[in-house]
Structure 1
């Protein structure tokens, strides 16, 4: 690759203006497609177990491997986007999604499907790369709205994946239909990106820090593996202890190496700068609210009616209950963007996290009513739309413009870890406040109340952290 990559400067500005709106839509759809990959196979895991002839525990690796690959691939591809061109790496991420989908669709066995799912995980870098592209090409007064729409795709894609899973998996192609759908969507998105997306920056190029990327892979892989397999401590303590030790050792070697590197994979000096660090910590605690909304809502409505708060609904019905929350997120994202264009991003984040906290307090005191559950979940969606719009805008406002994709990649990674931590804590709660029914375990009323209270406190903490951030018209910064 050459040392400098830039936009073709001869293209008329009028043409740019005409393609901005379709470009925003294309990037949003691409982001939604990438976030779908984490949930698209979850309801169909029993079918995958049967079709591939593996145990339920082995089939769960189809989810774990995607999380691991996404955790590693997102910061790596985002850093490469800042070095070699954001459009180029957007196309690469979409290409990995297509390649992974086709590998999983036609592969002859479990190993091939596992490899395909790993490639699909790398597509999670589409969101941070897309957000950095939008900041480059959108006028200052409209960047906030475009970024908010892109951020909303994370929650919308996750919920859509849960709803589409059963439909696609029960079609003529069976579970392979899930991967064929992803491949077709990825190809269409690639075609759209080739036609509509242009780089609007100059990139330094240079030598990529391969050693730093390998070290980061070990560190992130170890942490996320231990989080996602936290239930193994009772049955497989030695492997988890070894992997934890390996991660700690790798971190001790990787951090000094990154501080010495001229172009590190993760700019630790920027990442630990107070505004960026506080934003990422607030992101972790606020994002827990979104994931908890999915987990606890599905759990509450599927619980047996005899538990007092359960509605005894099917998994498909549980997915339908989340539709209002997803539509709320999507519908309010332009409103969140307009707020970003007018007031500080920190105030938008603080407001969003506070709304989420109050929504979980509402859910704490309302049980047993489908209407109350739907309203409560939708209110969390309101707070999520505001919070998720502000997070990337703040990160970019506090980071150098040439590192926009990498900075958003780290913020996106924080969201992934928050989801893994929320799932792990949910498993811990189940171990202490569970009742068995129909071969499954459900939280008791006390356990559910404790979960709602803990998430409310988490979001309130995020709101308080946001107010500690320095005032900045971050979305207007160029």
Structure 2
């Protein structure tokens, strides 16, 4: 295997900044319509149920295409796939900006979801182009860019939606996408070695896509359809059958879409399991806090903020991730990414614990989101580092994309669980049925418990194998010419690393 290319020191900052901005733009795409949720039925002249597909389409599309883009990045070049992912982001933004009906809007949002593979691709590219001493902090920053984009994108989107045309949101997204593509083209170095190439598993891609749609669709829509409805139960059953068949197919191939033998390694498997739980823990407060901030004060627990006020109160939590990410990189360098992941999960649980005392004021909510997102910043930076230390260089993009999928699975389950809790524990104020204070507290306690479970799982991640260099026996020479024995690696061999970088 060819050694990874390294970038000259004066270009390193440009590469990291470009890839971090790319992840930030992808996160903005996801939160773009959040301020519009209540207005979408009127804007698109459709029912609330149909309008909800504007969000669901992005979730499903991203889940299907992120693993595919990761595998294509390993086969044909990560930089090339980064540029390719910008095309659906741009096209989707333009379609959404131009339309006034629901079906084109759903199609445009689906195209935006197709481009969400830029984050795991960017993280994987760092391993190819950066020197080892810069890798940890760079991975942490690019990983945290999703949270940074979400934190900054929400108030910006709210302000634009409140004081300008909603179409400006999508035109702005299109301009950002073009800027990112130009920066990738100019600042991210082209590879000096050709990608490995190989066979793309089209059958595996179709099978995984079908299985994920059948799994995530009832997870996201089960609250509307009913969890015991025939459609919901049937889709869950189909997901089980399809994913089992997909797994059997992947194990037969020499070049699968996702190498399940690699993902079954304890270091990768447990990191992915922790990623699902961290994704759940991260998203629970992101669902609860905006509602709590915007509920009227007449409820006795709502904080009475406008859409823009809510976004501004939540913005510092995104900036916190940007502040914490380089600290997480240094912590991983000093103590290892496993320690950082455990610390991040514990910080998330501590934030939820503080919420039991502080959710009665806007300043208290701000403290809770700062602590939770500090933990998310630590955890999100550590997970790719753990994954990449356990997989071959030729599989970093697909392995990181699969890890990103696990995080998305956690956020989807979180949305479903929190939605059920808030729908069941309600109160009536002024003739309106609203989530009760008990519902919010139960949702936050569930997030706390899941974050603690993430820390427990992360604590079981095994340490990377330590290369063993055996010292050959000294050759006895005549006393007049005998030299001190020098330990060296036998010629033509290399330390056994189990796919991990030294």
Question: Residues 350 and 109 (structure 1 numbering): CA distance in 2 closer, same or farther, change over 3 Å?
Answer: same
How far 1:236 sits from its partner (Å)?
8.5
Alignment of 1:160-175 (within 5 A): 160-169=152-161, 174-175=165-166
What does the per-residue CA deviation read over 1:34-86, in whole Å, with 9 as the maximum and x for residues that have no partner? 11111101211343322322112111111100000000010000111011100
One of 162, 179, 190 as aligned partner of 1:188: 179
- Match for 1:317 among 292, 309, 319? 309
Label 1:6 to 1:144 Cα distance change in 2 as closer, same or farther (>3 A): closer
- Alignment partner of 1:178 is 2:204: no
Contact kept in structure 1, 2:151 and 2:316, CA below 8 Å = no
Asked if the contact 1:142/1:341 (under 8 Å) is kept, the reply is: no
Instruction: Indicate whether 1:338 and 2:362 are aligned.
Output: no
367 and 35 in structure 1: CA distance in 2 versus 1, 3 angstrom threshold: closer
Task: Give the Cα separation in 2 of the matches to 1:167 and 1:368.
Answer: 25
Question: Out of 29, 34, 50, which is 1:58 matched to?
Answer: 50
**What is aligned with 1:258?**
250
Distance 1:97 1:235, change over 3 A: same
Query: TM-score normalised to the size of structure 1?
Result: 0.92
Map Cα deviations across residues 135-163 of structure 1 (whole Å, 9 max, x no partner): 11111111011011101111111222322
Task: Count how many residue pairs are aligned between Structure 1 and Structure 2.
Answer: 469
Q: Which structure would you say has the larger Rg?
A: 2
Describe the shift of the 1:201–1:275 C-alpha distance in structure 2 as closer, same or farther (beyond 3 A). Answer: farther
**Contact 1:289/1:459, CA 8 A, preserved across alignment:** yes
- Once the two structures are superposed, the pairs formed by residues 434-449 of structure 1 within 5 Å of their partners are 434-437=426-429, 441-449=433-441
What is the match of residue 224 of structure 2? 232
Counterpart for residue 123 of structure 2: 131
Show the counterpart of 1:477: 501
Structure 2 residues not aligned, in runs of 5+: 467-498
Q: Distance in 1 between matches of 2:172 and 2:258?
A: 34
Distance in 1, matches of 2:87 and 2:326, equals 29
Segment of structure 1 superposing worse, 129-138 or 248-257: 248-257
Are 2:341 and 1:349 equivalent residues in the alignment? yes
Structure 1 pair 359–109 and aligned structure 2 pair: CA distance change class (3 A)? closer
- Give the Cα separation in 1 of the matches to 2:227 and 2:284: 26
Change (3 A) 1:178 1:426: same
Question: In structure 2, how many angstroms separate the alpha carbons of the residues matched to 1:283 and 1:27?
Answer: 21
Name 2:114's counterpart in structure 1: 122
Map of 2:366 onto structure 1: 374
- What is aligned with 1:360? 352
Cα-Cα RMSD: 2.4
1:451 corresponding residue in structure 2: 443
Q: What is the TM-score normalised by the length of structure 2? A: 0.88
1:332-385 superposed Cα distances (whole Å, 9 cap, x missing partner): 111111112222110000011111111211111334122211111111121111
Q: Distance in 2 between matches of 1:347 and 1:224?
A: 31
Match of 2:10 among 3, 7, 18: 18
Q: Conserved in 1, the CA contact under 8 Å of 2:279 and 2:409?
A: no
Contact 1:209 1:264 in 2 (8 A): yes
User: Where in structure 2 are the equivalents of 1:417-432 lying within 5 Å?
Assistant: 417-432=409-424
* Aligned counterparts, 1:152-163, within 5 A: 152-163=144-155
